[in-house]
């Protein structure tokens, strides 16, 4: 699905199902350098289980046009405006990595637009390794390679993939490499600059945090520190799973989402 917003195209994946405005809206927000396709193993499931699934391409990502947004706060403001423009809120918001930071700010500052928040691969802050930032600033292939190496758990690295023909390491690299020049650096810089501050404590809606026990980019202890700042929070631990949990453990994620989104 594509819409026009402020003179630009905003693209969404819907799970192959026509949008039904009577169903609860679930807005899925991707991480740094990625796009809607990172949610492929969730959107179709949600769309066929009573939800309107909308996996958004942020501006300058995937098939969405427009200038890149340089900060997490501004990304959250843009997403809040999108929810209001669609006139389908409040939404159930699912955010991964950078998308989780966007979700935190969105729920804290636009509470009328969010009635449930799900965070995956999340933390109070997301400092980025200087070598990764340097590689991203030069649009080097090393940046996707480093992100992929640090994002996947042990099983994903040794080809224990969730479906035949699905290669997580190669797929992750391909997804990141197709990002336009400057996209990965923009997003990593936004993550590196972000500090949650009091935002988590301002969230009023129920929050669920998925924690990958092998997550190197947002380690479990970092997710737990965030959880301690949130009033109404549920934790779901995923064993033998890294940062890219949606791809690594879809069979565990999907039924859990059905439960927490009700």
pLDDT tier at 159, thresholds 50, 70, 90: low
In this structure, CATH architecture of domain 2-126+195-260: 3-Layer(aba) Sandwich (3.40)
Residue 228 has pLDDT above 70, yes or no: yes
Taking every pair of C-alpha atoms in the chain, what is the biggest distance, in angstroms? 47
Instruction: Give dist(CA 210, CA 224) in Å, integer.
Output: 10
Task: Name the average pLDDT for the chain.
Answer: 94
Higher pLDDT, 61 or 165: 61
Q: Is 255 exposed, middle or buried (0-12, 13-18, 19+ CB in 10 A)?
A: exposed
What pTM was computed for the model?
0.95
> What pLDDT sits at residue 163?
61
pLDDT tier at 165, thresholds 50, 70, 90: low
> What pLDDT sits at residue 164?
60
Residue 186 has pLDDT above 90, yes or no: yes
Residue 210 has pLDDT above 80, yes or no: yes
Higher pLDDT, 170 or 150: 150
pLDDT tens-place string over residues 116-144: 999 999 999 999 999 999 999 999 999 99
Instruction: Give dist(CA 259, CA 202) in Å, integer.
Output: 24
Domain ranges of the chain: 2-126+195-260
Contacts of 150 (CB under 8 A, 6+ apart): 216, 217, 243
pLDDT tens-place string over residues 75-117: 999 999 999 999 988 999 999 999 999 999 999 999 999 999 9
> What pLDDT sits at residue 240?
92
């Amino acid at each position: 699905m594509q819409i026009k917003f402020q003179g630009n195209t905003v693209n969404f994946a819907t799970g192959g199902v026509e949008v039904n405005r009577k169903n609860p809206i679930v807005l899925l927000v991707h991480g740094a350098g990625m796009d809607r396709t990172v949610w492929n193993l969730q959107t179709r499931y949600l769309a066929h289980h009573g939800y309107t699934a909308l996996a958004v391409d942020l501006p300058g990502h995937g098939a969405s046009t427009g200038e890149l947004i340089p900060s997490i706060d501004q990304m959250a403001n843009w997403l809040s405006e999108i929810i209001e423009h669609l006139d389908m809120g409040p939404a159930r918001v699912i955010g991964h990595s950078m998308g989780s930071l966007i979700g935190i700010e969105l729920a804290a500052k636009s509470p009328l637009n969010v009635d449930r928040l799900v965070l995956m691969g999340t933390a109070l802050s997301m400092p980025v390794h200087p070598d990764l930032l340097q590689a991203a600033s030069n649009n080097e292939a090393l940046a996707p390679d480093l992100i992929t190496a640090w994002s996947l758990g042990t099983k994903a690295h040794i080809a224990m993939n969730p479906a035949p023909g699905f290669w997580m390491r190669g797929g992750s690299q391909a997804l990141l490499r197709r990002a336009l020049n400057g996209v990965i650096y923009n997003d990593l810089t936004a993550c590196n600059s972000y500090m949650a501050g009091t935002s988590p404590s301002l969230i009023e809606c129920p929050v669920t945090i998925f924690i990958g026990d092998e997550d190197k980019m947002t380690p479990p202890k970092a997710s737990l520190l965030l959880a301690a700042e949130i009033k109404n929070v549920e934790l779901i631990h995923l064993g033998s799973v890294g940062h890219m949990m949606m791809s690594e453990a879809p069979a565990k994620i999907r039924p859990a989402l059905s439960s927490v989104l009700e």
